[in-house]
Amino acid sequence: MKTGPLSKTPTMLSILLLCLLQMYSCKGTAQVPELGEEKPVEEETSNYRLIADIETDASVFATDNLGHIYLAGKDGEVLKYDSEGKELFQFSDFNLGDVHMIDASSPFNILVFYRDDNVVVFLDRTLQETARVDLFLADQPQVNAVAVSLDQNIWLYDPLEFSLKKLDKAGNVVYQSPNMSQYLDEDFEADFLLEFSGEIAVGKRGGNIFRFDLFGGYIGKEDFKVGKGRLKSIKEAFVFVNESDELEAYKPLKSGFVGKKTALPKSDDELLDAMIRKNHLYILRQGKLSIFNFE
């Protein structure tokens, strides 16, 4: 693990955090542009301090609302770190393949999706397995996107029936939405799924994001594009890496969206994903996860 010197990068990270993470309650700030408006974005210079580099072959990571980090390597192992990069716990099952996604929305009920095996594993805060759902046995043979639900069950998108389904930890379908194909793009394939502020967001990298209520009722289609990683959330804001390798955050409003975006620290290594938690910025690149503090 290595620490580094203070670096400066053009960013509006502090504005993004102040406005989005405090629910846009700040007063006296400039109006933020709604999605799709061609308005210049004010930038400022913030100081990034590299706290740690974690060497990893992970292509998937997640953070929880307590600041913990979860890394998944290509051998199916999941490692948990604190916000400073200290390893805390690990989970491994070498009978399973690569981890496709980790959902740490609930830090005491972590969902790990092994897509190639069509298996969902739930872990507690110490990464001890608490439940396992074989989606083949649950008669869900073709699943690409899952998420943990607010009631600690599983949301998934079924591409064969064009519907959202909620499964309990025994693999039983406890809710299924109506067919949603009339709202989705013709070539739609779900890459990610998220329960968010009483809604379900489902989307495809580089494609549109579709929003539904918890009963499958259509809310709308949004054209912001996830370029790397998956769609995530902080409180009531969507967060994602766009196709220009910038970190964006959008908060839904009744009249549309307000949003901010920020440039990430430059590197020659390939960017895989990024996330903000409190005053920490986490960037996963090929070969390492970097943890920054910022002012």
Q: What's at 179, amino acid-wise?
A: N
Give the pLDDT of residue 254: 67
Which pLDDT score is estimated for 17? 42
The pTM of this model reads 0.84
What are the sequence ranges of the domains in the chain?
6-294
Q: Which CATH architecture has domain 6-294?
A: 6 Propeller (2.120)
CB atoms within 10 A of CB 147: 24
Write the DSSP symbol of residue 65: T
Residue 160 CA to residue 214 CA, distance in Å, equals: 20
Query: With a cut of 50, which residues of the chain have pLDDT below it?
Result: 1-15, 17-45
> What integer pLDDT is reported at residue 205 of this predicted model?
92
CA distances from 201 to 78, 189, 191, 197, 234 (A): 25, 13, 11, 10, 14
Instruction: Provide the pLDDT for residue 113.
Output: 97
| pLDDT reported for residue 128 | 98
The pLDDT of residue 270 is 95
Q: What pLDDT was estimated at residue 223? A: 84
What is the distance between the alpha carbons of residues 5 and 206, in angstroms, rounded to a whole number?
A: 35
